[in-house]
Amino acid sequence: MSSETKILLAESELPRRWYNLVADLPSPPPPVLHPGTLQPVGPDDLAPLFPMSLIEQEVTAERYVDIPEEVLDVYRLWRPSPLYRAHRLEKALGTPAKIYYKYEGTSPAGSHKPNTAVPQAYYNAAANIRRLTTETGAGQWGTALAFACAQFGLECEVWQVRASYDQKPYRKIMIETFGGTIHPSPSTLTKAGQAVLDADPDSPGSLGIAISEAVEVAAQHSDTNYALGSVLNHVLLHQTVIGEEALLQLAKVGDTPDVIVGCTGGGSNFGGLAFPFLREKLAGRIDPVIRAVEPAACPSLTRGVYAYDFGDTAGMTPLMKMHTLGHDFVPDPIHAGGLRYHGMSPLISHVYELGLIEAVAKTQTECFEAGIRFARTEGIVPAPEPTHALAACIEEALRCRETGEPKVILTALCGHGHLDLAAYGNYLSGAMDDREFSAEDLKTANLPRV
């Protein structure tokens, strides 16, 4: 091969600051509102759940936030993460395009989630918090937080949607291996869980219920806080370490991206990769197309409305202005659990409204076909979530084969699929089908009036 397969950075090149896109936008995103007063929420509203340092990061207008040394020390277990040139995939596609992928699967949880779990655990420990609670669906976020808590001596208590808890025992074991405690949700440990069980003892649970349980416990105990793995500004802030590294890595090989594609669920992986490149684009130094890829079964950007809505199904959170399918919408059980969210990060929604990024939706069979093509050429079995980005990446590379354009395509391979092989088995056996979102699915009748 003519050039390197892996573009690596030394640990001394690990970024020492996170990047806050808000500082460079032509207008700030709309404020988060209190559901009762419809007034912007203040720090005190959030203090029962989050430490003040994270609340400050949530609302800061500063361009950069320093990464604490203690966080950098843990990041070094897997960061800087490798940027790969997909030589073998390019060859198999017969494309003149150059494909680069930033791989986050070498982290302790096997995805990008520890990039924010580690600082969240650090800031909570620094605020003398003893325990963090959270919810998890498929289990990636719960795994990341359990690992992060182990680094700073915090207890970690995870409510996992019962359907996933029963079907995916490996994630539960991985959370316990890292020292976390895990409960199926609904549980008898909370009023919220007990109420659901009273009504339906066999409830399979939902992410909305699990959030309610984790939040209830955090709100009741002064030594306990809650942690969220996507959507919020401070989460996306922490993830920008991905894009900052990728900028450095592409500079090393003298390439600038023409197209950047990433998958979007809550938006943290996409924002993490894209925002530093967006800074460069806003400054006029580069001009890539930046494309979010979402599942056709849960297409909040391409088919949702831009409105104030709740972050959870039960309607307990503050109101966020975002692209939403309605908080009542229950996505089809596609395999990419990490993309099954009715809304989209308010910051990414705002950036989309500003016309700075575009979005497309992909069906899961097209995505798994891309995942298998990728595995056989590049040797990594991707998680179902990033197969969405890979499908869009392959589509672009095949377009380049037609036009002859040697475009530089950058994507985020945000995790491996070792714990998602059942979904691959489903695809390989021909049992997987697609269900696309239709107009009747839009659940916006219950949107709060703001």
Q: What residues line the site for a copy of itself (CB under 8 A)?
A: 1, 4-6, 8, 10-11, 73-74, 76-78, 87-88, 106-108, 110, 114, 147, 150-151, 169-170, 172-174, 176-179, 372, 375-381, 416, 418-419, 421-422, 424-425, 428
DSSP-derived 3-state class of residue 410: strand
The distance of closest approach from Cβ of residue 86 to a copy of itself in the complex, given in angstroms and rounded to an integer, is 10
The distance of closest approach from Cβ of residue 178 to a copy of itself in the complex, given in angstroms and rounded to an integer, is 6
Cβ proximity to a copy of itself, 2 vs 438, nearer residue: 2
Cβ proximity to a copy of itself, 33 vs 71, nearer residue: 71
Cβ proximity to a copy of itself, 91 vs 191, nearer residue: 91
- Among 337, 351, 346, 330, residue whose Cα is nearest residue 417: 337
Both tokens assigned to 14: 């690990």
Cβ proximity to a copy of itself, 192 vs 383, nearer residue: 383
Kindly report the CA angle at 26 between 23 and 32, in degrees rounded to 5? 70
- Among 416, 441, 158, residue whose Cα is nearest residue 304: 441
Cβ proximity to a copy of itself, 176 vs 358, nearer residue: 176
How far, rounded to the nearest angstrom, does the alpha carbon of residue 216 sit from its chain's CA centroid?
23
- Residue 41, Cβ neighbours under 10 Å: how many? 19
The distance of closest approach from Cβ of residue 65 to a copy of itself in the complex, given in angstroms and rounded to an integer, is 22
The distance of closest approach from Cβ of residue 189 to a copy of itself in the complex, given in angstroms and rounded to an integer, is 20
Cβ proximity to a copy of itself, 313 vs 387, nearer residue: 387
The distance of closest approach from Cβ of residue 127 to a copy of itself in the complex, given in angstroms and rounded to an integer, is 22
The distance of closest approach from Cβ of residue 226 to a copy of itself in the complex, given in angstroms and rounded to an integer, is 23
* Distance from C-alpha of 87 to C-alpha of 104, rounded to nearest angstrom: 19
Instruction: Looking at 112-206, list the stretches that DSSP marks H as alpha helix, in order from N- to C-terminal side.
Output: 114-126, 140-151, 162-167, 169-177, 191-199
Specify the residue for token string 């939040």. 215
* Distance from C-alpha of 416 to C-alpha of 106, rounded to nearest angstrom: 8
Cβ proximity to a copy of itself, 174 vs 274, nearer residue: 174
- Contacts of 432 by beta carbon, 8 Å cutoff, 6+ apart: 335, 364, 365, 368, 423, 426
The distance of closest approach from Cβ of residue 78 to a copy of itself in the complex, given in angstroms and rounded to an integer, is 7
CA atoms within 13 Å, Cβ hemisphere of 343:
30
Cis peptide before 43 (omega within 30 of 0): no
Cβ proximity to a copy of itself, 407 vs 416, nearer residue: 416
DSSP assignment string, 30-93:
PPPB-TTT-SBP-HHHHTTTS-HHHHHHHH---SEEEPPHHHHHHHTTT-SPPEEE-HHHHHHH
The distance of closest approach from Cβ of residue 114 to a copy of itself in the complex, given in angstroms and rounded to an integer, is 8
